[in-house]
Amino acid sequence: MMSPLESTVLFSIGPVPITQAVLTTWGIMVVLVAGAFAMTRNLTVRPSKRQAALELIVATIDTQITETTGAAPAPYRGFIGTLFMFILVANWISLIPGMEPPTAQLETDAALALLVFASVIWFGVRGAGAGGYLRSFTRPNPIMIPLNILQSLTRVFSMFVRLFGNVMSGVFVIAIVASLAGLLVPIPLMALDLLTGLVQAYIFAVLAMVFIAATITDGAPTTQKDS
Amino acid sequence: MTIDFWTLGLQAINVGVLIWLLSRVFWTPIAAAIGARQTATQTALDDAADVQAKADAALADVTQARAGIAAERTAALAEAAREAEAQSKQAAAAAQTQADTLLAAAKATAMAKAEDDRAAANAASATLAVAMARKLLAGLDTQVVQAAFLDRLVAGIAEMTPSDRAALVATPGGIDLVSPDALDAAAQAKVTAAVHKALGGKPDLQFVTDPALIAGGELRTAHFTLHNSWRADLDDIAGALTDAA
């Protein structure tokens, strides 16, 4: 068995190696974008069942964002929603025989964590200004600046390690059980892996929202923050 | 354990592109559809509120109009009742007036009829009395009666004023001397002499017969009559009886 920490390079484009995870990610992107484009072509005021289901997804994401940040969901909907949907589909793609979740590879999870780190900066600067974003590191007092800087790095590190560990371990356990006990025995573990994939996608998205909201809140002036 | 930073960067770009694409083809259109429905719903609610307000206003107008109609109906009924009462009173007054008029006319008619009946009864009584007197007087001696009436005629001429006697004498066409029976020549001469003497002149005398006188003799001209007969006396009596009645 190959180590789960190793990536399989299928081919290279110049100096860029194209791994199985990248190829699977492209496939997921094509399916998601094409499916989204196909399903949102004929949106009407009187929704069909399909449109109602899509609107239910959007309304649920909006509700989660509003309850977590207390702000209007529109600026964060695209980032948080796409993050959740991509991670969920990537985690569940292991149900297709022969497919391996991209999130079971360290580079994909690290890329997601890097995007969260960048989005915290982006939304923090856009919401509270550059000064406000820098001011967020002085909470609760300037002595905490080194620790806050360290925390901003370690929390995203913990995010991708958590996601990677859960998904990779699930895939690894199923692979071991399947190699030892045949076809039907891993099914309960695969069902558990579905739940794990959903929970991990939800946790990753919620943590991203919490980090963004905390940065905006901490970056606000003291009087505004108190109010 | 190694991390392939090419793969890391490529995956970051992939997910970034996916975020960008899904924001445009999924999240934004669906959010816009939700917003459009919310706007349409709010518009429909606003329109419904407007319609409700208009309906409430129309209902208030109808209620007010109904109240006005009821008040107008009550006023019309009261006016009609007043008019009916006035017309009833007017009709009753007219009927009373007409009844009074009819009653007065009936009373007048009855009184007139009673008066006529009484006058007729009086006239009949007088006629009967005259007829009875005439029958009683018819049995008397004509010569004696005529002599007495001639004396009364002479006395009547004597009672006239001289100017009246002179005017009577000067009457053109003469004087009619009316008697109930034709007089013979001797009687005419006697009467002519007595009359001429009483008048103090000799006017022309024409002897005329009128049985209605019963007895007596009268002088008549176109403008004068000296009554001197039982007929005149009975007429005076009948007139007195009628006046007394």
Domain definitions of chain A by residue range = 9-226
Q: In chain B, which residues have their Cβ closer than 8 Å to the Cβ of A44? A: 33
Residue B145 CB: number of other CB atoms within 10 A? Answer: 16
Q: Report the pLDDT value the prediction gives residue A227, as an integer from 0 to 100.
A: 45
Q: What is the pLDDT of residues B99-153, one digit of tens each?
A: 999 999 999 999 999 988 888 887 787 678 767 877 777 777 777 888 888 888 8
* Three-state DSSP class for residue A97: coil
Rounded to a whole number, what is the distance in angstroms from the first to the last CA of chain B? Answer: 172
- Evaluate if residue B221 carries a pLDDT over 50: yes
Q: Report the pLDDT value the prediction gives residue A10, as an integer from 0 to 100.
A: 85
Residue A130 CB: number of other CB atoms within 10 A? Answer: 12
- A110 and B CB contact within 8 Å: yes
Distance (Å) from the alpha carbon of B50 to chain A's nearest alpha carbon? 22
Q: What is the pLDDT of residues B36-89, one digit of tens each?
A: 999 999 999 999 999 999 999 999 999 999 998 989 999 999 999 999 999 999
The answer to the question of residue B99 being in a domain is yes
Looking at the partner chain, which of A16, A55, A105 has a beta carbon nearest the beta carbon of B6?
A: A16
- A114 and B CB contact within 8 Å: yes
Integer Cα distance of A195 and A154 in angstroms: 26
Integer Cα distance of B153 and B195 in angstroms: 8
The answer to the question of residue B195 being in a domain is yes
Contact A45 B40 (CB under 8 A): yes
Contact A106 B3 (CB under 8 A): yes
Distance (Å) from the alpha carbon of A142 to chain B's nearest alpha carbon? 33
Give the CATH number of the domain where residue B207 resides. Answer: 3.30.2320
Angle subtended at Cα A130 by Cα A124 and Cα A136, rounded to the nearest 5 degrees:
60
Q: Report the pLDDT value the prediction gives residue B16, as an integer from 0 to 100.
A: 95
- A108 and B CB contact within 8 Å: yes
Residue A190 CB: number of other CB atoms within 10 A? Answer: 15
- Evaluate if residue B179 carries a pLDDT over 50: yes
Cα-Cα-Cα-Cα dihedral sign, residues B198, B200, B202, B206: negative
- B11 and A CB contact within 8 Å: yes
- Whether residue A77 contacts residue B55, with contact meaning beta carbons closer than 8 Å, is answered with no
Q: What backbone phi and psi angles, to 5 degrees, belong to B182?
A: -70, 135
To test the contact with chain B by mutation, choose from A64, A82, A112 the residue with the greatest count of B C-beta atoms within 10 A, namely A82
- B44 and A CB contact within 8 Å: no
Among all residues of chain B, which has the CA nearest to that of A79?
Answer: B19
Per-residue pLDDT, averaged over B189-198, amounts to: 89
Q: What is the pLDDT of residues A32-54, one digit of tens each?
A: 999 999 999 888 888 889 999 99
Residue B16 sits in the same domain as residue B96: yes
To test the contact with chain B by mutation, choose from A7, A62, A100, A107 the residue with the greatest count of B C-beta atoms within 10 A, namely A107
Contact B7 A105 (CB under 8 A): yes
Q: In chain A, which residues have their Cβ closer than 8 Å to the Cβ of B20? A: 78
Question: Residue for token digits 């199985």?
Answer: A20
In 3D space, the residue among B176, B179, B185 whose CA is nearest the CA of residue B215 turns out to be B179
Integer Cα distance of A190 and A174 in angstroms: 7
Strand partners, A13: A16
- Evaluate if residue B29 carries a pLDDT over 90: yes
| Nearby residues of B195 by Cβ (< 8 Å), 6 or more positions away | B153, B154, B157, B177, B205, B219
Residue B2 sits in the same domain as residue B95: yes
The answer to the question of residue B119 being in a domain is no
Here the tokens at position B135 are 């029958």
The answer to the question of residue B3 being in a domain is yes
- A34 and B CB contact within 8 Å: no
Contact A54 B8 (CB under 8 A): no
The answer to the question of residue B227 being in a domain is yes
Residue B91 sits in the same domain as residue B145: no
In 3D space, the residue among A194, A117, A204, A209 whose CA is nearest the CA of residue A164 turns out to be A204
* Exposed e or buried b per residue across B112-131, where buried means at least 16 C-beta atoms within 10 angstroms of its C-beta: eeeeeeeeeebeeebeeebe
Counted domains in chain B: 2
Q: In chain A, which residues have their Cβ closer than 8 Å to the Cβ of B38? A: none
Residue B98 sits in the same domain as residue B9: yes
Q: In chain B, which residues have their Cβ closer than 8 Å to the Cβ of A55? A: 30, 33-34
* Domain hosting residue B92, numbered range: 1-111
Distance (Å) from the alpha carbon of B73 to chain A's nearest alpha carbon? 52
Q: What residues of chain A score a pLDDT lower than 70? A: 1-4, 222-227
The percentage of chain B sitting over the pLDDT mark of 70, rounded to a whole number, equals: 97
Q: In chain B, which residues have their Cβ closer than 8 Å to the Cβ of A74? A: 31
| Nearby residues of A22 by Cβ (< 8 Å), 6 or more positions away | A102, B7, B10, B11, B14
Angstrom CA distances, B131 to B118, B126, B134, B228, B238, stand at 19, 8, 5, 18, 11
Residue B105 sits in the same domain as residue B2: yes
Q: In chain A, which residues have their Cβ closer than 8 Å to the Cβ of B1? A: 5, 106
Q: Scan residues 122-181 of A and list those with Cβ closer than 8 Å to B.
A: none
Residue B191 sits in the same domain as residue B104: no
Q: In chain A, which residues have their Cβ closer than 8 Å to the Cβ of B6? A: 15-17
Cα-Cα-Cα-Cα dihedral sign, residues A119, A121, A126, A128: positive
Contact A45 B37 (CB under 8 A): yes
